[in-house]
Amino acid sequence: MPEALQTKGLNAFARTLTLGPSPHPISMLLCESENAKGNATEKGAILRDRKSQWRTAGVDLPQGAKWEVREGQIILHFPAIKQKTTCRVILARCDDSQSSTFQNLMKREIIDPTKFTKGGPTRWKQILTTQGKVGKDDQAYVVDDIPGPIDNPWKSWLRFGALDFFDDGRAAISTWDGDVWIVSGLDRELKSVKWKRFATGLMHPLGLKIIKGIIYVAGRDQITKLHDLNGDDEADFHECFNNDAGLTPQRHEYVMDLQVDRAGNLYYCRSGHYTSSQRGENCCVMRVSPDGKKLSVLARGFREPNGMSISPEGLMTVADNEGHGVPQTPLYILKENAFYGFTPPGTKKRSGWRSHEPALVWIPKTVDRSAGGQVWVTSKKWGPLYGHLLHTSYGHCRLYHVMIDQVEKTRQGFVTVFPLTFYSGIMRARFHPKDGQLYLCGLRGWGTKAAKDGQFCRVRYTGKPFSQPIEMQVTHQGFRLRFDQPLDRKSVEDVENWGGEFQDVFAKKGRRKRKGDLEVVAVKLSKDGKTVDIELEEITPVTSVTLLYSIKNLKGAELSGQIYGTIHRVPKRN
């Protein structure tokens, strides 16, 4: 336990230690000065350099402890200890005339540090209450807004960066400015939502995960494990779980998201496209071992990766952001040891982006210019999209459904935009363990279309038919769409109700970028009225394709929308 001591103009630093039992001897470095010399006695040691004299001493040291001065260092050696013991070491810069004053410091009472490991008194006693606004059940998915306590006593700026849930349904949500809040009362009506400040002083915690009931947050400095030692819903101990990654001074080198795989490994994204860190630990996805002792780079070559996901089967995704040569927003399947094309300045390699790993889907800048994180639908209470992938946009404040098509071993994706309105750039999304609905949080910080500084909300499935396709596949002659409701045959099979365009957002060396309209030849609706086969005049691999439709369901309601996708492979005719 560190202490600052002061008496008669002498300033000293003290550490109270509780040691043992330990079968092995240990050593402690107390002071170091280049080219300094000194001497050690049974009671302490002195180290002198050209400018200063340093004096150390111990109180209640265990029997067999020895002082040593060696190569400009003061070292204290502790023997193997059979029983727990508490002692204190004191260090001060003082000359011989202050030796008696230094000795008086050794008479102060030693306080057992373990008294401070049980949690202190509650600091933020007030529990704040807000009332949510439940959306109208007028479509399949609706937004329920959950306002935060903006006018809180501590003037905490509620720009939400990450969230997760305890098993009992309470939420933990972090803010960009360094807080973590515990949120309860997340029932159907949201009439009395309770907010309790849990922790503060964290460095940009934009990733959060609850593991075995303990909150872990990922910040620019480290992954921090927050311990509530006395059960008062406040963090008493901020434990450094891992801080091995290097950090540059650039303003945009954020640590984004925090996910855990089935083996217990933790993952986060690290941005920072302005310059490379000396150890190359930015513009990448990092992996931390379950015990926090080993940090490694999982994959490199990202410009500004804001978030990622891990499916129940272990499939990983990550999205990057357009700019510096990245032509659109790519959503990738994440592979170990892969390079995804971007090299920041400051290395011997050419900076910028070059195409390497294929994206699952390229999302146009007009649809998503700054990606958020992803989440897999793990709740059967969330309607027909169970098992599917969702993507979020920080820049456009949107939620997307990602339809994954697989042709042989090649995956390719298609994206639709949920017809929902959000007021902040979406950062993270998680499914609630009790009600099975999707909760999202976001903020307004750097470039975004967000109208508000922060938002916490729920996207709830109402049971009504979903107006968008739930599946999309590439066929040898075009596309196959699957809807959740029966459609009107006449409107569906009218080719004038379908259209679109395609383009290569980047072309390989020596090839021109292709661009043109989708020529729809014929459309057929299946007998059950839910599957649509679209025949095109030509279908080939292309970076970016947009399919437009304006049709009706069996009840005559209009269904219109856009689908954005990437085609890597067209299946052969059977």
pLDDT in tens, 13-36: 999 999 989 999 999 999 999 889
Instruction: Give Cα separations from 37 to 34, 40, 436 (angstroms).
Output: 9, 10, 67
φ, ψ for residue 123, nearest 5 deg: -95, -40
Q: Is 552 helix (H, G, I), strand (E, B) or coil?
A: strand
Using alpha carbons, list the distances in angstroms from residue 460 to 333, 382, 418, 435, 570: 27, 7, 12, 9, 36
In tens, the pLDDT along 105-143 reads 888 888 888 888 889 999 999 999 999 999 999 999 999
The model carries a pTM of 0.89
Q: Residues of the chain with pLDDT > 70: what percent?
A: 98
pLDDT tens per residue, range 359-388: 999 999 999 999 999 999 999 999 999 999
253 compared with 542, residue with greater pLDDT: 542
Q: What pLDDT band is residue 507 in, cutting at 50, 70 and 90? A: low
Mean pLDDT of 460-477: 97
* pLDDT, mean over the chain: 94
Name the residue among 251, 257, 198, 249 with its Cα closest to residue 223.
257
Is 566:542 a contact under the CB 8 Å cutoff? yes
> Does pLDDT of 510 surpass 60?
no
Would you place residue 39 in the very low, low, confident or very high pLDDT band (cuts 50, 70, 90)?
A: very high
From the list 222, 32, 172, 12, the residue with the least C-alpha distance to 99 is 12
What mean pLDDT do residues 175-190 have? Answer: 98
> Using one digit for the tens of pLDDT, what is the confidence trace for 268-314?
999 887 777 767 678 899 999 999 999 999 999 999 999 999 999 99
DSSP for residue 497: G
Predicted pLDDT of residue 250: 75
pLDDT for 509 equals: 59
Q: Answer yes or no: is pLDDT of 511 > 70.
A: no
Size (the chain), residues = 574
Give yes or no for residue 251 having a pLDDT over 80.
Answer: no
